[in-house]
Amino acid sequence: MTTEQPRANNEKHYPHTEVEAKWQKTWREKKTSATPVDPGADKYYVLEMFPYPSGRLHMGHCRVYSIGDAIARFLRMRGKKVLHPMGFDAFGLPAENAAIKHQVHPGDWTEKCISDMKDQFERMGFSLDWEREAVTCRADYYKWNQWFFIKMLERGLAYKKAAAINWCDTCQTVLANEQVEQGNCWRCGNAVTIRNLEQWFFKITDYADQLLNDLDKLSDWPESVKIMQRNWIGRSEGARVKFRLLPTGFQQGEAVPAAGATDETIEIFTTRPDTLFGVTFMSLAPEHPLVDSLVTGSDKEAGAKEFVAMVAQEDRFLRTAEGKEKEGFFTGRYAVNPVNGEAVPIYLANFVLMEYGTGAVMAVPAHDQRDFEFARKYSIPVKVVISPIPGSAGGPPASSVDEVLDSATMTAAYVDPGIMQSSAHFDGLPSEDAKPAIVSWLAERGLGEKTIQYKLRDWLVSRQRFWGTPIPIIYCDDCGAVPVPADQLPVTLPRDVQFTGSGNPLSGSSEFINVPCPKCGKQGRRETDTMDTFVDSSWYFLRYVDPLNSDEPFSKNAADAWMPVDQYIGGIEHAILHLLYSRFFTKVLRDLGLVNVDEPFQRLLAQGMVTNTYIDKNTGQLAVDENGRPKLAKMSKSLGNGVDPLEIIDQYGADTARLFILFAAPAEKELEWTDEGVNGCSKFLNRVWRLVHGTLDACEFAPEEAAALEPGNANDRELQFQVNRAIQRVGTEMGDRHHFNTSIAAIMELTNAIQTYLSSSHEFERMTLGFSVRALLLLLYPFAPHITSELWEKAGFDGAIEEQSFPAYDPKALEKDEVELALQVNGKNRSKVVVPSKASKEDIEAAALADERVQQFLEGRQPKKVIVVPGKLVNVVG
């Protein structure tokens, strides 16, 4: 049974099901969301992060697309030429898992999901240009991934190397560093292990400085996202310093051989060259390539090998966790400190990472907490070379746990800047000044150099999975790794593949693997790794500008016309991964001459999660905190607290869902789902429905310009004021600040004002009333397009509502004849006074001082000062 309302009731109750279906059909047929050609200077590119086609739209999707659609519809009314496209991030593991489970081809499964989701998109009423749809799993899209890969290979930006990489056993594939969270896989949450494999990388580190510096250009990005990216890139300024190795057999305390050390050096990276004179040992990563030659043949060989094996066995995340016991092993060898010629013992240490810096560290226990703990554990000397600045020297004294820095008694490292000591001719210098001085001293002697180090690592793009873009490489015994020639692209995924759940299905497809070498024609072997799906999403915004191009990924003209994306919207969870990769791709494409922009996304809105209460699995009750309040968590399958958008659409309609989503919280904050809140929005739309039905007579007299209204009586003028103020507020809240909740509040206030006007017992001024209703519909349209389209038509206004301009307000109507000012005495509210709005400061002051209550609170004192804030208040200080 449907709950269709009888016709007679339609004026009282908004029949959302039939109205929404009607307008969705109209929009589809009229192609009202089509992208304008030749956008020119008015172009505006609104983009929301495209979804993975799971087959089901969830509330998070509804939120991000409701935000984007409100912006798109609003800006079209503002005269912008809007590009608002959509597509699907369609490669990835769920399709492959479905293939294993149901023995369907991932492509068939994915296309079915896409088709289902498009229906759901339409039911939400999003104004998307589906003719520009980009689907990453289709060969006409991923062909260009392969083309970019080859371009990157030509530029030395794609390369293959053996490396210790993150392996997820559940997903049966490797992961990029960015995809490891707290030692676990970003998608399945299982522990990541380390494997040594030959893998393809993109050299994102070549762009580290640009990715860092250009963050400063992104003035319309949230500061928090920029900071997260800065931290991820992790720039450190420091120095590389060479320590020469002493020959085998050198004993501690023995004089360093006059002829110096061997020719072999160990290079370290440090951010604290000012502490070089305090070096008392050195530590190497167990994986350091020199380890073997240091110990082979010595009595330390067996022990060292055992230590290396032990560390290698350890879980990498645990090994590098703070608080982890520092483990070391003395190699029996020494190196020479280049600044003072002292011999320092060389240790292996579990906390030194081969991937960062040079894999070797100079250790200064007096001024580095980690080195300090290590030194105390292994009874290595501590040498103080920096003393705290005395408090009197201007500026605060540096902090120190220990009152006196004595190597024997100190309990913690002193890590702050200070004054150099025990550092030869650098003594007495502030340590910050000594940094460059020591580096220059080293550089002059060829012992070291200034350098910049990043935490950012190259992007590992190989995946041992079927459902991704095949890496376009053919291995040949004679020619090595040969790229597939551009005219032979795309390398398409084979259809006849077995999905067994173990290993990469591509390795079992002889048709796919066995191909001739493009260079010499001999039998070759095709690469079976596919690309990380983040490659797909790193440039999809560029495909939308020219989606049907079969000769190029996109034409430069189209990119120049539309790029950058003016407003990008998506979840904060992509603050590092996707946004960093997209920025990298854009810069590479710029260097390839394909685009003119440095940055892809002008303005970024990171929307918050959608949360709900949930049932605690242990108690079977609503989960509550210690105060008995219901706990909130992100809507998820595992907690079972998701709300199905389709059910909400069925019950309340898409407009209600959209309105609630935008009204209940600011876009960047968490959105707490409440049925009561949804109901409130539904009530509001019904109120608008009835209100407009009750004023249809007046609508035919509605002027298009606010300035055309007659002044009328006080009631009329008040409504004119309210409607003009609402237009002004929604204009700035939407246009400048993207505050959807306060925009909707302003529209509700206008609705209340019209209702108040109607319930006042006087004759209605039909132009004023009609104009107010007309404006109400226009203001509400970007948030609730279906109901406003229907009411616009019912009211008999000209044209379709989506073709209308956003209304202009009349500044004159915002000026009132009289204003009420708050009267304060010494900053406390004491009274009110009504004055003509054009009253002079002197008149206002006089009115304030004449006020009885002001006099009373002055208690006979003479006012010392009177502050007049026009239109707001008067503060009498006395």
Distance (Å, whole) CA 531 – CA 152: 13
Q: How far is the CB of 537 from RNA (least distance, A)?
A: 18
Distance (Å, whole) CA 466 – CA 504: 6
- Pick the binder of RNA from 205, 636, 741, 855 (CB under 7 A): 741
**From 346-354, 474-482, 510-518, 762-770, span contacting RNA (CB under 7 A):** 346-354
Q: Which residues contact residue 370 at a Cβ distance below 8 angstroms, ignoring those fewer than 6 apart?
A: 326, 351
- 825 token code pair: 């005495």
Q: Which of residues 445 and 669 has its CB atom nearest to RNA in the complex?
A: 669
Residue 651 binds RNA, judged by CB under 7 A? no
- Pick the binder of RNA from 272, 463, 543, 578 (CB under 7 A): 272
Q: How far is the CB of 664 from RNA (least distance, A)?
A: 5
Q: Which of residues 110 and 358 has its CB atom nearest to RNA in the complex?
A: 358
Q: How far is the CB of 500 from RNA (least distance, A)?
A: 34
Q: Which of residues 264 and 672 has its CB atom nearest to RNA in the complex?
A: 672
Distance (Å, whole) CA 149 – CA 155: 10
Distance (Å, whole) CA 547 – CA 131: 8
> Which of positions 166-185 make contact with RNA (CB under 7 A)?
181-182
| Backbone phi and psi for residue 50, each to the nearest 5 degrees, phi listed first | -75, 155
Residue 124 CA: distances (Å) to CA of 50, 63, 112, 649, 773? 16, 11, 19, 8, 25
Residue 471's closest CA among 198, 208, 98?
198
Per the rule left: phi > 0, alpha: psi between -120 and 50, beta: everything else, 569 is beta
Whether residue 537 contacts residue 89, with contact meaning beta carbons closer than 8 Å, is answered with yes
Q: Which of residues 156 and 827 has its CB atom nearest to RNA in the complex?
A: 827
Q: Which of residues 13 and 522 has its CB atom nearest to RNA in the complex?
A: 13
Residue 751's closest CA among 793, 809, 690, 703?
690
Residue 676 binds RNA, judged by CB under 7 A? yes
- 389 token code pair: 């600045």
> Which of positions 833-872 make contact with RNA (CB under 7 A)?
853, 865, 867, 869, 872
Q: Which of residues 199 and 270 has its CB atom nearest to RNA in the complex?
A: 270
Residue 680 binds RNA, judged by CB under 7 A? yes
> Which of positions 453-482 make contact with RNA (CB under 7 A)?
453, 455
What is the b/e burial string over 791-814, where b = at least 16 CB atoms within 10 angstroms of the residue's CB?
Answer: bbeebebeeebbebebbebbeebe
**From 422-430, 517-525, 667-675, 803-811, span contacting RNA (CB under 7 A):** 667-675
Residue 242 binds RNA, judged by CB under 7 A? no
- Pick the binder of RNA from 17, 555, 679, 715 (CB under 7 A): 679
> Which of positions 372-431 make contact with RNA (CB under 7 A)?
none
By CB under 7 A, how many residues form the interface with RNA?
Answer: 88
> Which of positions 781-840 make contact with RNA (CB under 7 A)?
820-822, 824, 826-830, 832
- Pick the binder of RNA from 5, 17, 97, 755 (CB under 7 A): 755
**From 199-207, 426-434, 699-707, 752-760, span contacting RNA (CB under 7 A):** 752-760
What DSSP string describes 494-548?
A: PSS----SSS-GGGG-HHHHEEE-TTT-SEEEE---EE-HHHHTTSHHHHTTSTT
Q: Which of residues 148 and 459 has its CB atom nearest to RNA in the complex?
A: 459
Q: Which of residues 233 and 698 has its CB atom nearest to RNA in the complex?
A: 233
**From 190-198, 424-432, 521-529, 670-678, span contacting RNA (CB under 7 A):** 670-678
Q: Which of residues 321 and 486 has its CB atom nearest to RNA in the complex?
A: 321
Q: Which of residues 68 and 238 has its CB atom nearest to RNA in the complex?
A: 238
Position 876: which residue type? V
Q: How far is the CB of 439 from RNA (least distance, A)?
A: 12
| Residue tagged 């909707």 (tokens) | 744
> Which of positions 317-336 make contact with RNA (CB under 7 A)?
319-322, 324-326
Distance (Å, whole) CA 655 – CA 123: 10
Residue 7 has a CB neighbour count (10 Å cut-off) of 8
Residue 779's closest CA among 733, 843, 831?
733
Distance (Å, whole) CA 744 – CA 751: 11
Q: Which of residues 39 and 694 has its CB atom nearest to RNA in the complex?
A: 694
- Pick the binder of RNA from 119, 223, 254, 402 (CB under 7 A): 223
Q: How far is the CB of 574 from RNA (least distance, A)?
A: 11
- Pick the binder of RNA from 262, 387, 636, 742 (CB under 7 A): 742
**From 149-157, 350-358, 465-473, 704-712, span contacting RNA (CB under 7 A):** 350-358
- Pick the binder of RNA from 85, 238, 468, 483 (CB under 7 A): 238
417 class by beta-carbon count within 10 Å (0-12 exposed, 13-18 middle, 19+ buried): middle
- Pick the binder of RNA from 115, 170, 190, 231 (CB under 7 A): 231
| Backbone phi and psi for residue 266, each to the nearest 5 degrees, phi listed first | -115, 125
Distance (Å, whole) CA 113 – CA 106: 10
Residue 265 CA: distances (Å) to CA of 58, 240, 262, 336? 58, 12, 8, 9
SS3 category, 733: helix
Residue 517 binds RNA, judged by CB under 7 A? no
Residue 560 binds RNA, judged by CB under 7 A? no
The DSSP H or E segment spanning 267 is: strand 265-270
Q: How far is the CB of 609 from RNA (least distance, A)?
A: 9
Residue 353 binds RNA, judged by CB under 7 A? yes
| Residue tagged 């919280």 (tokens) | 665
Q: Which of residues 75 and 726 has its CB atom nearest to RNA in the complex?
A: 726
Q: How far is the CB of 451 from RNA (least distance, A)?
A: 11
Residue 352 binds RNA, judged by CB under 7 A? yes
Q: How far is the CB of 670 from RNA (least distance, A)?
A: 6
Q: How far is the CB of 710 from RNA (least distance, A)?
A: 26
Q: How far is the CB of 231 from RNA (least distance, A)?
A: 5
Residue 236 binds RNA, judged by CB under 7 A? yes
Q: Which of residues 107 and 183 has its CB atom nearest to RNA in the complex?
A: 183
Q: Which of residues 26 and 826 has its CB atom nearest to RNA in the complex?
A: 826
Distance (Å, whole) CA 106 – CA 90: 10
> Which of positions 699-738 make contact with RNA (CB under 7 A)?
732, 736-737
Distance (Å, whole) CA 508 – CA 502: 11
> Which of positions 59-88 make contact with RNA (CB under 7 A)?
none
Residue 303 binds RNA, judged by CB under 7 A? no
The three-state DSSP-derived secondary structure of 673-732 is CCHHHHHHHHHHHHHHHHHHHCCHHHHCCCCCCHHHCCCCCHHHHHHHHHHHHHHHHHHH
| Residue tagged 């070797």 (tokens) | 360
